[in-house]
Amino acid sequence: MSSSAGPAGAGTSAGPGHRERLSPSAGTWVACLGIALTAGFVPLPVLGPAGALVAALVAAAAVTAALLAASARVEVSGGTLVAGRSRIPLHHLGRAEPLDAGAMRRVMGPDADARAHLVTRGWVRTGVRVAVEDPEDPTPYWLISTRRPAELAAALRRP
């Protein structure tokens, strides 16, 4: 059963139907802090305490910048789905299926289609698979990480 969103899409006048940023989890930030501390301890015998502190701060800044750059935006508004740097009009989309962690693992693993468009983040275990119904687009579906799969799927179904 396919539920297509019309060209008007969700949230055309009342703001976005769904908006979230896929920021890293607390565990990811803790792991990156460990990387920064290691980057400070490794050169300690050679650079001394001041040099090690500088190395740790540079590593922390680099890791923070990389994680913030990897934090994709997912939004449904103005008749468009925006996921990361990609966007697609809602009228080209079909059924939106919320995926729990197990289903997301299957779709990213044994049930994966190499033609799919992926906007996934390792620190977000749930997602939504959205069928693409544009006959000129070879992409069968978009797979999008989201912490609120039911809400995103509902926003994609709204006329």
The DSSP line for the chain is ---PPPTT-TTTTTS-SEEEE-PPPHHHHHHHHHHHHHHHHTTHHHHHHHHHHHHHHHHHHHHHHHHHHT--EEEEETTEEEETTEEEEGGGEEEEEEE-HHHHHHHHTTT--TTSEEE--TT---EEEEEE--TT----EEEEE-S-HHHHHHHHH--
Residue-wise pLDDT tens digits, 57-69: 999 999 999 999 9
Its pTM stands at 0.76
Residue-wise pLDDT tens digits, 2-52: 333 333 333 344 446 899 999 998 998 999 889 888 988 999 999 999 999
